[in-house]
Amino acid sequence: MVSTPQPSASPQPAAPGRRSVRLERTAPGRYAVHNVRGGTVTLGRGDDTAYTPVELLLAAIAGCTSVDVDEVTTRRTEPESFVVDVVADKTSDELGNHLAGVEITFRLAFPDTDAGQAAAGMVERVVRLSHEKLCTVSRTVMLPTPVRSVVGDTVIE
């Protein structure tokens, strides 16, 4: 049997700003991803209801920017509805496989009150701030972000 060095029992951030997850294969084409707080997400190849890695990336983009918008607008009032759609085109070209044309669409509704109007009036500004500065996930996708893969002593960059 050939194996790579085994990691510690759970993902552990090394510093306050460090984030980590651990993926474990649970069956052919099925994986469980664990965070340091004990949460688990199941993912797969797209042949069943489990999220694919691309869908999780889109969900992360939606979730990250939604947290920014929700945190600010709910200081005024609770939304009556809060829906965010993210779509992208999966493509393969001279750059390899990647997503193109990622688009985030916000559909929010607030009560017809002074507080609701104040919250609705903040949405565009907060979405812009999230897009340009706050949302770590979409900012990482938009910026050139190096990714390293490590197998034993080999680093692939």
For residue 11, is pLDDT > 90?
Answer: no
For residue 1, is pLDDT > 80?
Answer: no
Average pLDDT over residues 57-76: 98
d(CA 143, CA 149) in angstroms, rounded, equals 19
What pLDDT sits at residue 16?
Answer: 84
Neighbours of 114 (CB within 10 A): 10
d(CA 12, CA 87) in angstroms, rounded, equals 32
Segments forming the whole domain that contains residue 37: 20-51
Q: Are residues 41 and 117 in the same domain?
A: no
Residues written for the chain: 157
pTM score, two decimals? Answer: 0.87
Q: Are residues 79 and 136 in the same domain?
A: yes
Beta strands in 48-141 (DSSP E): 81-93, 96-109
Instruction: Give 41's strand partners.
Output: 33
What pLDDT sits at residue 15?
Answer: 82
Q: Are residues 67 and 112 in the same domain?
A: yes
